[in-house]
Amino acid sequence: MHLRMDQWKHAFKLDPDRDLSDDALEKICLSGTDAVMVGGSTGVTFDNTVDLLARIRRYEVPCVLEVSNREAIVPGFDLFMIPIVLNAKNTDWIVGQQHGAIKEYGAILDWKQMMTEGYIIMNGNSAVANVTEADVKLSLKDVEAYARLAEHLFRCPVVYLEYSGIFGDMEWVRRIRGLLSESRLFYGGGIDGPDKAREAAQAAHTIVVGNAVYNDLEQALATVKAVRE
């Protein structure tokens, strides 16, 4: 059950480690977005994740946990997205963390609720690049190879081109989407309003809006309508 993930055009990503008022959260959940993803690369704990899940559950929007560390695995989400950071130099973020989690929960997991994301980290200055020690010196050919690897060898339903914090090269994003036939291309990074949302939505299958929620909520909300035009 992937909640029609194959049809998502837009998602918001909320960080349990950042403050968001009830009013802002209501606007996000009623915005018409296809899903709310919960995740962040630092400061995500069991407690702040449970707290955010409970608040989002007042609304009907699909709510997905993008698992960011083993301590922050919380049951009760509609879907669990498991990142595999393909260009991590620290292999803990390719199979190590996942292995540890499966060792702990493997016997009780509902695998139909799990979905892998083949992450390609593009912004060397992002927190996620720092955590995973990502090798961001990538040519287009490198990125293409990672995308093919994620789709055909790892069979990830999602390939995630992660520019977190900066707006990426849309020509590259378009090229990667063009390669994929089974996996869906998620793009995230620097979408701060409707113009960039429109541009990114023309290049990727699904766009993800994160920091804008905290920096300029009205602009963030306007990204939903922009991808529906």
Ligand X SMILES: O=P(O)(O)OC[C@@H](O)CO
Q: Which residues are annotated as a binding site?
A: 13, 15, 41, 160-165, 190, 210-211
Binding of ligand L4TTDIOY at residue 20 (CB under 6 A)? no
Binding of ligand L4TTDIOY at residue 85 (CB under 6 A)? yes
Give me the least distance between CB of 128 and Mg ion, in Å please. 8
Nearer to Mg ion, 168 or 210 (CB): 210
Binding of ligand L4TTDIOY at residue 102 (CB under 6 A)? yes
Mention every residue, 6+ apart, whose C-beta is less than 8 A from residue 101: 67, 70, 73
Residues of this chain, 138-167, that bind ligand L4TTDIOY according to CB under 6 A: 162, 164-165
Q: Given the rule CB under 5 A, which residues bind Mg ion?
A: 210
Buried b (16+ CB within 10 A) or exposed e, 69-98: beebbbeebbbbbbbbbbbbeeeebbeebb
How many C-beta neighbours within 10 Å does residue 127 have?
15
Q: CA 39, 204, 220: angle at the middle one, nearest 5?
A: 55
- Which of the choices ligand X, ligand L4TTDIOY, Mg ion, none does residue 193 contact, using the CB cut-off of 5 to 8 A by kind? none
Q: Is 60 exposed, middle or buried (0-12, 13-18, 19+ CB in 10 A)?
A: exposed
Give me the least distance between CB of 53 and Mg ion, in Å please. 18
Cα 118 to Cα 62: distance, rounded to the nearest angstrom:
21
Binding residues for sn-glycerol 1-phosphate: 13, 160-165, 190, 210-211
How far CA 58 is from CA of 10, 42, 84, in Å, comes to 20, 26, 30
Q: CA 86, 91, 97: angle at the middle one, nearest 5?
A: 95
Please count the CA atoms within 13 angstroms of the CA of 210 that sit on its side-chain side.
24
Binding of ligand L4TTDIOY at residue 45 (CB under 6 A)? no
Q: Residues in contact with ligand L4TTDIOY, total (CB under 6 A)?
A: 34
- Which of the choices ligand X, Mg ion, ligand L4TTDIOY, none does residue 10 contact, using the CB cut-off of 5 to 8 A by kind? none
Task: Give residues in contact with ligand L4TTDIOY (CB under 6 A).
Answer: 15, 39-42, 66-70, 73, 75, 80, 82-83, 85, 93, 97-98, 101-102, 105, 108-109, 119, 126-128, 131-132, 162, 164-165, 210
